[in-house]
Amino acid sequence: MEYELNDILIAFGLTLFAGLSTGIGSAIAFFTKHTNTKFLSVALGFSAGVMIYVSFMEILTKARESLVEAAGYTSGSWITVGSFFAGIALIAIIDKLIPSAENPHEIKLVEEADKKPQKDKKLMRMGMFTALAIAIHNFPEGLATFTAALTDSSLGIAIAVAIAIHNIPEGIAVSVPIVYATGNKRKAFTLSFLSGLAEPVGALVGYLILMPFLTELTFGILFAGVAGIMVFISIDELLPAAREYGEHHLSIYGLIGGMAVMAVSLLMFI
């Protein structure tokens, strides 16, 4: 499967945008005094709705079409299901390897950054490990965004926006403990910004390693795995975080809204 240079650059640009939105979260931690928890709850729910809908209705469907064409109906269907759950297993293992204390989805409020700085090595360590944890999480997310955007730019835009929304609170999670431990906002922003760079790095590594071998079979396996990764992120990370930030119903309204917007946008490109 061959792609034009313009398609590759667009896909990489969308992945870069999604990854660097951790910097937006970091900026929010510095320039606002209070966390708008209701907005974040709806936004995270919306992001989950987009990712779940597009994974099942678009990505998994395209993966199955490619695999059925490459391996036949029965084998292709089994490979699709296997690849989907392999993607879930991959991101679940990555999540399991990260200590819970440094989990990037631990809720942080910007109010905490306004407290008097404490020379607390544990807090500093937490911020550093959170940045590392986010970088590890963002690597497969970058590959997911890049692969989707390379196949369909409109699909890539939707996924990039969804992942960008979900990266904003991650930027807050990196910045708050570092600012509170050191009082150094520049250092906190730099670490937050760098953790987001793992997404375009994931895209670049994926391109260099996988693209030379990208056939209908490998594309289908990769795409089904991407669907699994995105579903797991939505259920394990986005929805619990949305519930923590605000009322339960707000996250569900956001979820349904995300699905509806994604459904309409896909219909518009038929």
Neighbouring C-beta atoms of residue 156, cutoff 10 Å: 24
Q: Which pLDDT score is estimated for 111?
A: 53
The helix (H) or strand (E) run that includes residue 39 is: helix 37-54
C-alpha torsion sign, points 188, 201, 11, 61: negative
Nearest residue to 51 (alpha-carbon basis) of 139, 167, 150, 132: 167
Instruction: Name residues of the chain where pLDDT drops below 70.
Output: 1-2, 29-30, 32-36, 98-127, 129-130, 180-181, 245-246, 269-270
How many structural domains does the chain have?
Answer: 1
Asked if residue 172 lies in contact with residue 187, where contact means CB atoms within 8 angstroms, the answer is no
Identify the pLDDT of residue 78: 97
- pLDDT value of position 240: 84
Asked if residues 173 and 103 have their Cβ atoms less than 8 Å apart, the reply is no
Contacts of 94 (CB under 8 A, 6+ apart): 136, 137, 140
Residue 126's domain comprises: 5-268
- What does the alpha-carbon distance between residue 188 and residue 69 come to, in Å, rounded to a whole number? 49
**Per-residue pLDDT tens digits for 93-102:** 887 876 555 4
Considering the entire predicted model, what is its pTM? 0.73
**Integer Cα distance of 15 and 197 in angstroms:** 9
Report the chain's mean pLDDT, rounded to a whole number.
Answer: 80
